[in-house]
Amino acid sequence: MTRIYLDYAATTPTHPEVVKEMLPYFTDAFGNPSTIYSYGQEARAAVEEARGRVARLLGAAAEEVCFTSGGTESDNFALQGVAFANEDRGNHIITSEIEHHAVLETCKFLEKKGFKVTYLPVDDYGLVDPADVKKAITGKTLLVSIMHANNELGTIQPLAEIGKITRAAGIYFHTDAVQTVGHIPLDVQNLGVDLLSLSAHKLYGPKGVGALYIRKGTKIASFLHGGGQERGRRASTENVPGIVGLGKAAELAGHELQSECPRLTALRDKLIADLRERIDHTTLNGHPTKRLPNNVNVSIDFVEGESILLNLDLEGICASTGSACSSGSLEPSHVLLAAGCSHERARGSLRFTMGRSTTAAELSKVLEVLPPIVARIRAISPLLKKKG
């Protein structure tokens, strides 16, 4: 059975050209970039070339890019690093209720260390209101952290507007852009951010490597203590093959953005329309247009997301749900609930995230198999009976 992968927000396959570019750095060019003989210098040059490639994708300067072990570390580094380095200026952080756990759990940790955190609500589309950011700022606010696009809903936040507010208030602004870097055009100057997290495996690079953009002049405490790598900000011998892979992935993404964005947007809008037409009681989660080009998130009433996922898996189709069991917790997704979804709707949520190899034919296959699956589940559903 050919598999249809529609979970690109969870991870992406490493691009063959990325793998090809990484391979020599495991074997022939294995040197430690901190050594002065040519082996080491070869590795050093590769790391610096990758840094330039990532910087170009972000509109940043190369020295503003710090490599990390992924999106989670970048988020931890940004929040903890800015909080601990600027304690003399205040103790207040502003974020949103729909952030990734890498941000939310770091905020909870910082609360235990004495910081105060405001968790801003979102509207029914999952949008943060910049006016709420402005209202939440106090004389003690150090940092605002609002994600660029939500990994579940796909909703894209008005970062540039928020950036103007933080800039005027002289407050640091961080964004988790793991879902947008390499997927939509972005520029750290236009967004007005001081720190930005990204992860290679969400943009066709390898797992276990990412980066944090740190605007020049930002006061931030180093994250890993040890050697002086990454300008003293993150000790540990560089993950040279991983960094080379991230650099190549960033370069490829830069080339493909212009054609991929409109192609995926058209597939997205058609899939949303077709799902709503063919399956009654289906609603779109997230914003209809301020939305990642590759994200479709719908709630199908009177069914459980997990039952649908298991049935789709039997047909070779990989998707995701914000419902409880699949994510290993008892509560449905905090994101869907924050965006005004009832528990019932959240349980029937289904997310398809598309990518470079997604075709219209694959989506036709989904539309062929999904309605009968839903009909079968509804026929035996206690949820439907309850409604009468």
Ligand X SMILES: *Cc1c(COP(=O)(O)O)cnc(C)c1O
Residues that bind ligand X (CB under 6 A): 70-72, 100, 102, 147, 151, 176, 178-179, 199, 201-202, 210
> Cβ of residue 190: shortest distance to ligand X, in angstroms?
20
Rounded CA-CA distance 239/208 in Å is: 9
- Least separation in angstroms between residue 372's CB and ligand X is 31
Give yes or no for a contact between 242 and 210, defined as CB atoms under 8 angstroms apart.
no
Nearer to ligand X, 21 or 176 (CB): 176
In the complex, minimum distance from the CB of residue 152 to ligand X, in angstroms, rounded to a whole number: 9
Minimum distance of ligand X from residue 99's CB (angstroms): 8
Nearer to ligand X, 31 or 286 (CB): 286
Q: Which residues contact 125 (CB under 8 A, 6 or more apart)?
A: 153, 155, 286, 287, 290, 339
Active-site residue identified among 66, 261, 318, 325? 325
Sole residue written with tokens 């974020």 = 95
| Comparison of 118 and 151: residue with beta carbon closer to ligand X | 151
Q: Are strands 195-199 and 172-176 parallel, antiparallel or unpaired?
A: parallel
**Quick count: other Cβ atoms within 10 Å of Cβ 282?**
17
C-beta closer to ligand X: residue 12 or 311 = 12
At closest approach, how far in Å is the CB of 103 from ligand X? 7
Kindly state the smallest distance separating residue 249's Cβ from ligand X, in Å: 13
For ligand X, the closer of residues 11 and 364 by Cβ is: 11
Contact 89, 98 (CB under 8 A): no
Bridge partners for 221 per DSSP: none
Rounded to whole angstroms, the Cα distance separating 323 from 46 reads: 43
Residue 321 CA, chain-centre distance (Å), reads 16
Alpha carbon of 11 to those of 203, 207, 381: distances in Å? 8, 8, 32
Pick 126 or 210: Cβ nearer ligand X: 210
Give the C-alpha distances (Å, rounded to integers) separating 50 from 42, 241, 244, 335, 372: 13, 10, 6, 34, 48
In the residue annotation, 318 being an active-site residue is answered as no
Residue nearest ligand X, Cβ-based: 71
Helix, strand, coil % in the chain, rounded to nearest 5 = 45, 15, 40
State the catalytic residues: 325
